[in-house]
């Protein structure tokens, strides 16, 4: 029997009231395992009103006490790590180890938020003028919202939610309707950690819920991670209503392999970064740029590794790659492979015919590897979001940098080389937000910040780290002078202080 999944409002699970719902499926079997409620505009408004009332007291709570709640959350997430990972594997399809790694990366941001008393400290200047002092403080925005994707149902809600509530806001999460169970458990852990009712709420839903949050006058800020098309929509709809918006979007990440690179290391990196989580990562490597004469040697190492990928259910400890999230998405990815062949790319490894005994209804496909891909091909230009790696041949280092810079997306990139001069030139000259040197997936640690360039982001703020603190707070500067020693007489000129 399918599980009924409603919403999490006021520190408790509540049933949906709209009468609309969607199926939640196990991508390994195709079985419908749950029904998730889709929130109406009225349900969104009710949750916002609860959050608005609760946020006033939460904002007045000393940061030291708020961070103690985050310490409690950290301990609870560590205790329930396997439970969170299992829910993700069952609804997303990623391997159990990968899911546990995702929880770990979310925990890093929770750990960062445990220092919020320090992160929100302002500046103080004594004697900016005679007997006059000035200082700055950061204050929370109020009720903020986050719209998160299916591929990281715990990590990205932590990136947003942990930072938002630690800063003194109330946070409403609209997670993906494809894998809602892990975010619901996360909300329960926030409550168990001591977070007051109404401060972290989960409203499941579709575009109706998204639009309700975008239009709501009591939600001054929206965070988004997902596709570029939807991210651009969220950004424009939000900013037209004078909301603060950060929208982190799609990607087409290149890894440049120089002739002097350690090819065993580079191959390991491409296998993990290209096919981990079935390629359903915005920081996945989907283009390998082989510079000079390294292409044939790289393909000789890559092809047998792709062919040997162990594909299976996420909870099978032998699996290296699980299924794609839905049948529709798997068919879309296979369509891109068809298009690549049609446009003349060489399909070195074809994973389209993969069949798993006992899992015939699952959303599985094997890894695909293309060679001789050119920049005018659809598989090069579009974000495929699946286990498809394209190899592009580049004659020179400068040509390789040009490929990276000319692409519409600018999320992440990497270079594999032993040459420090080449690595430094690459890092300084690529027009990309996150750069790895012999690191294939350069997702910054929690005390730095995540964010791409070009079509990979809309808005001025990255996510988590000090960028997160700045996004979820507003700056106030106070200038004060006390009566003692003030000279009589009004000042009518706006002049420099001395």
Q: What value does the mean pLDDT of the chain take? A: 96
Share of the chain above pLDDT 90, in %: 96
Scored b (16 or more CB within 10 A) or e, 187-215 reads bbbbbebebbebbbbbbbbbeebbbbbbe
| Residues in contact with 393: Cβ distance below 8 Å, sequence separation at least 6, in sequence order | 290, 295, 372
pLDDT at residue 376 in the model? 97
Q: How far apart are CA 380 and CA 252, in angstroms?
A: 8
Positions marked catalytic = 282
| Contact of 165 with 54, CB cutoff 8 Å | no
Tokens linked to 77: 């997430």
The string of pLDDT tens digits covering residues 251-286 is 999 999 999 999 999 999 999 999 999 999 999 999
The string of pLDDT tens digits covering residues 343-386 is 999 999 999 999 999 999 999 999 999 999 999 999 999 999 99
| Contact of 449 with 462, CB cutoff 8 Å | yes
The string of pLDDT tens digits covering residues 98-113 is 999 999 999 999 999 9
DSSP strands (E only) in 176-330: 200-202, 221-225, 244-248, 253-257, 285-291
pLDDT over threshold 90, residue 313: yes
pLDDT at residue 496 in the model? 67
Q: At what angle do helices 295-307 and 263-275 cross, to 10 degrees?
A: 50
The string of pLDDT tens digits covering residues 32-83 is 999 999 999 999 999 999 999 999 999 999 999 999 999 999 999 999 999 9
| Residues in contact with 43: Cβ distance below 8 Å, sequence separation at least 6, in sequence order | 7, 16, 17, 18, 203
Torsion of the alpha carbons at 205, 207, 209 and 210, rounded to the nearest 10 = 120
Scored b (16 or more CB within 10 A) or e, 341-353 reads eeeebebbbbbee
Coil, helix or strand at residue 129: strand
> Residue 346 phi/psi, 5° resolution?
-90, 115
pLDDT at residue 279 in the model? 98
Share of the chain above pLDDT 70, in %: 97
| Contact of 10 with 307, CB cutoff 8 Å | no
Question: Hey, where are the domains in the chain?
Answer: 3-249+456-478, 253-437
pLDDT at residue 114 in the model? 98
Token pair 């068809």: residue = 338
Residue 247's DSSP bridge partners are: 224, 458
Q: How far apart are CA 442 and CA 434, in angstroms?
A: 6
pLDDT over threshold 80, residue 488: no
| Contact of 76 with 192, CB cutoff 8 Å | yes
| Contact of 153 with 177, CB cutoff 8 Å | no
Tokens linked to 301: 């190492």
In 432-472, which ranges are continuous DSSP H helix?
A: 465-471
Confidence of residue 397 (pLDDT cuts 50, 70, 90): very high
pLDDT over threshold 90, residue 14: yes
pLDDT at residue 493 in the model? 72
Q: 3.40.190.10, 3.90.1150.150, 3.40.309.10, 3.40.720.10: which CATH number matches 253-437?
A: 3.40.309.10
Q: How far apart are CA 318 and CA 389, in angstroms?
A: 22
pLDDT at residue 241 in the model? 98
The string of pLDDT tens digits covering residues 194-208 is 999 999 999 999 999
pLDDT over threshold 90, residue 484: no
Confidence of residue 486 (pLDDT cuts 50, 70, 90): low
pLDDT at residue 483 in the model? 79
Coil, helix or strand at residue 409: strand
Q: Are strands 285-291 and 253-257 parallel, antiparallel or unpaired?
A: parallel
Q: How far apart are CA 16 and CA 7, in angstroms?
A: 7
CA-closest candidate to residue 149, choices 170, 174, 171, 172: 174
| Contact of 440 with 273, CB cutoff 8 Å | yes
Q: Rounded to a whole number, what is the distance in angstroms from the first to the last CA of the chain? A: 76
Q: How far apart are CA 457 and CA 412, in angstroms?
A: 12
Tokens linked to 64: 């030291």
pLDDT at residue 485 in the model? 58
The string of pLDDT tens digits covering residues 451-475 is 999 999 999 999 999 999 999 999 9
Q: What's the angle, vertex CA 245, arms to CA 244 and CA 249, rounded to 5?
A: 170
Confidence of residue 487 (pLDDT cuts 50, 70, 90): low
Q: How far apart are CA 48 and CA 325, in angstroms?
A: 30
Instruction: Report the greatest alpha carbon distance in the chain.
Output: 90
pLDDT at residue 212 in the model? 98
CA-closest candidate to residue 71, choices 25, 27, 111, 106: 111
CATH of domain 3-249+456-478: 3.40.605.10
């Amino acid at each position: 029997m399918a599980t009924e999944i409603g919403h999490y409002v006021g520190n408790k699970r509540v049933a949906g009231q709209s009468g609309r719902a969607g199926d939640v499926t196990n991508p390994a079997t195709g079985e419908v395992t749950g029904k998730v409620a889709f929130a109406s505009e009225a349900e969104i408004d009710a949750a916002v009103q609860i959050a608005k009332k609760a946020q006033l007291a939460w904002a007045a709570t000393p940061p030291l006490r708020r961070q103690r709640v985050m310490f409690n959350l950290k301990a609870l997430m560590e205790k329930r790590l396997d439970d969170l990972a299992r829910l993700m594997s069952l609804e997303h399809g990623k391997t159990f180890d990968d899911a546990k790694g995702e929880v770990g990366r979310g925990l890093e941001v929770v750990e960062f938020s445990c220092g919020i008393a320090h992160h929100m400290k302002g500046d103080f200047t004594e004697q900016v003028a005679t007997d006059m002092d000035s200082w700055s403080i950061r204050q929370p925005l109020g009720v903020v919202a986050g719209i998160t994707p299916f591929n990281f149902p715990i990590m990205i809600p932590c990136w947003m939610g942990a930072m938002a509530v630690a800063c003194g806001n109330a946070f409403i999460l609209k997670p993906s309707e494809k894998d809602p169970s892990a975010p619901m458990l996360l909300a329960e852990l926030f409550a168990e950690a001591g977070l007051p009712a109404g401060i972290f709420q989960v409203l499941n839903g579709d575009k109706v819920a998204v639009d309700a949050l975008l239009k709501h006058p009591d939600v001054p800020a929206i965070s988004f991670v997902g596709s570029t098309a939807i991210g651009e929509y969220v950004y424009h709809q939000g900013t037209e209503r004078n909301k603060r918006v950060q929208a982190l979007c799609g990607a087409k990440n290149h890894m440049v392999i120089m002739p002097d690179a350690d090819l065993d290391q580079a191959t390991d990196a491409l296998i993990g970064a290209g096919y981990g989580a079935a390629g359903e990562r915005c920081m996945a490597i989907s283009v390998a740029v082989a510079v000079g004469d390294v292409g044939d040697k790289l393909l000789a190492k890559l092809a047998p590794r792709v062919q040997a990928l162990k594909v299976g259910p996420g909870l099978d400890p032998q699996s290296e790659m699980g299924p794609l999230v839905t049948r529709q998405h798997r068919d879309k990815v296979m369509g891109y492979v068809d298009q690549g062949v049609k446009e003349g790319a060489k399909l070195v490894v074809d994973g389209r015919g993969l069949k798993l005994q006992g899992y015939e209804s699952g959303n599985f496909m094997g890894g695909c590897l293309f060679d001789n891909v050119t920049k005018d091909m659809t598989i090069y230009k579009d974000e495929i979001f699946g286990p498809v790696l394209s190899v592009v041949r580049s004659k020179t280092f400068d040509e390789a940098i040009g490929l990276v810079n000319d692409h519409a997306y600018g999320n992440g990139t990497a270079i594999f080389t032993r040459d420090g001069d080449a690595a430094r030139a690459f890092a300084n000259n690529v027009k990309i937000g996150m750069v790895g040197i012999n690191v294939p997936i350069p997702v910054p640690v929690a005390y730095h910040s995540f964010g791409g360039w070009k079509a990979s982001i809309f808005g001025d703020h990255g996510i988590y780290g000090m960028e997160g603190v700045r996004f979820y707070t507003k700056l106030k500067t106070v200038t004060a002078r006390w009566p003692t020693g003030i000279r009589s007489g009004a000042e009518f000129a706006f002049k420099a202080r001395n």
